Amino acid sequence: MSRSALFVVPAVLALRAPVVSAQSLKPAPADTAPLHGQVVSVSPLFAILGFFTGEVERRVTTNATLGVGGSAFTLGPFGYRSLDAKVRFYPDERALEGLAVGASAGAIWLSAEEGGVFTGESHGSGIVVGTEASYTWLTGKHHNLAFSFGGGLKRVIRYGGYDVSAVQLTYPTVRASVGFAF
């Protein structure tokens, strides 16, 4: 190896070292996003179809949230109302943003008006438990516009005072909401 090569190689490495160091210290864009404490969201797409949903979710740790959600719709003679307490876990340590898995527990109220296949008016309430997987994007200049999509399952474990956990009363849930983080 020539003397000039012995000088040039270390000089190039020395000049490159500060550039590499500066690049490695530059924070990623996601790390500079503000950390919000809660998100309030609704589903305008479902509202157009007559299905009303809303939710409030609050950060309790860097990777977990607690929330309350509700939904209501009427489909012909059938009526449905629900209110759930929810807990979500965010494995990427960014509660309120990214992938989340969760569980819920709450109450449902069902009704059917007289007519059609029903000989009389019917009302009842029950207890449900559920699971969910979803993904939330925080976007906008201040990262406060939330878009959430996901789905899960709910299971009725008690209805009208009766234990119905042995009966397979499980139904799917869908989450497609827009919200505001603050």
User: Would you list the DSSP string of 115-131?
Assistant: BTTBSS-EEEEEEEEEE
For residues 33-43, average pLDDT: 88
High-pLDDT (> 70) share of the chain, %: 77
Which is more confidently placed, 162 or 1?
A: 162
Beta strand residue intervals within the chain, DSSP E = 38-42, 51-61, 64-75, 78-89, 98-112, 122-139, 145-159, 162-163, 170-181
Query: What band does 160 get if pLDDT is binned at 50, 70 and 90?
Result: confident
- Asked if pLDDT for residue 59 goes beyond 50, the answer is yes
C-alpha atoms less than 13 angstroms from C-alpha of 146 in its C-beta half-sphere: 28
Other C-beta atoms within 10 Å of 28: how many? 7
Residue 22's pLDDT is what? 46
- Asked if pLDDT for residue 24 goes beyond 50, the answer is no
Give yes or no for a contact between 71 and 80, defined as CB atoms under 8 angstroms apart.
yes
Query: What band does 20 get if pLDDT is binned at 50, 70 and 90?
Result: very low
Q: Mean pLDDT in the chain?
A: 84
High-pLDDT (> 90) share of the chain, %: 64
For residues 156-165, average pLDDT: 86
- Residues 6+ away with beta carbon under 8 Å from 137: 97, 146, 147, 148
Q: Show me where the domains of the chain are located.
A: 36-181
For residues 21-31, average pLDDT: 47
Dihedral of alpha carbons 56, 58, 64, 68, sign: negative
Give yes or no for a contact between 62 and 37, defined as CB atoms under 8 angstroms apart.
no
Residue 1's pLDDT is what? 52
Tokens of 69: 């959600």
Which is more confidently placed, 166 or 130?
A: 130
Query: What band does 161 get if pLDDT is binned at 50, 70 and 90?
Result: confident
Instruction: Give me the count of residues in the chain.
Output: 182
For residues 116-140, average pLDDT: 86
Give the C-alpha distances (Å, rounded to integers) separating 136 from 33, 76, 115, 143, 179.
Answer: 14, 33, 42, 11, 10
CATH classification for the domain delimited by 36-181, as one of 2.40.160.20, 1.10.150.130, 3.40.50.2300, 3.40.1160.10: 2.40.160.20
- Asked if pLDDT for residue 43 goes beyond 60, the answer is yes
Q: Report d(CA 85, CA 36) in Å as an integer.
A: 20
- Asked if pLDDT for residue 23 goes beyond 50, the answer is no
